[in-house]
Amino acid sequence: SYISFDILRRILSDYFGYDILYVMNITDIDDKIIKRARQNHLYEKYIEENKSLDAVLDDAKNVMSAFEETVRTTTDADKKIMLEKMLGKVKNAVENLEKAVKGGNTGEIAEQQKRLLVEAKDPLSDWLDKQYGASVTENAIFNKLSQYWENEYHKDMDALN
């Protein structure tokens, strides 16, 4: 439909000489966008709070426990495989962080903690949303995600001319 309207706009402006103001709505704010915006905000806030090592490990174990239940109850085979891989990466990151703690190398601990937070981003974001999602009400948080993808869309359309 974008291409059809673009053709019409070009005909009206280029051939007939009309001054066209083209307005389009490309993002519907629906539950998935709102949820992802909340999750992104809560994850960023969690990272900024710079939690203690013990708090991060405790949270990661709680996340894994909740995520294991999600994996267990998933019936779609392809989705289950994807979730199992994600869970494996999180478990591996937790184990590596615990090994680093036992080794006592602060540089390695910081690196493994950062790796854990990256590997656990999706399940951690979902867990944070379940814990604190109701407290996120600022419209700017939701607009930020929509505007990002709208800008990406416009860049793609510009690249296509």
pLDDT the model gives residue 8 = 92
Helix 106-119 vs helix 53-73: angle between axes, to the nearest 10 degrees? Answer: 30
Rounded to a whole number of angstroms, the distance between the first and last alpha carbons of the chain is 16
Query: Does the global pTM surpass 0.85?
Result: no
Residue-wise pLDDT tens digits, 100-125:
999 999 999 999 999 999 999 999 99
Q: Are 40 and 148 in contact (CB under 8 A)?
A: no
Residue-wise pLDDT tens digits, 41-72:
999 999 999 889 999 999 999 999 999 999 99
Residue position matching structure tokens 């909740």? 66
The type of residue at 138 is E
Mean pLDDT across the chain: 91
pLDDT the model gives residue 28 = 63
Q: Identify the structural domains of the chain with CATH numbers, from first to last.
A: 30-159 (1.20.120)
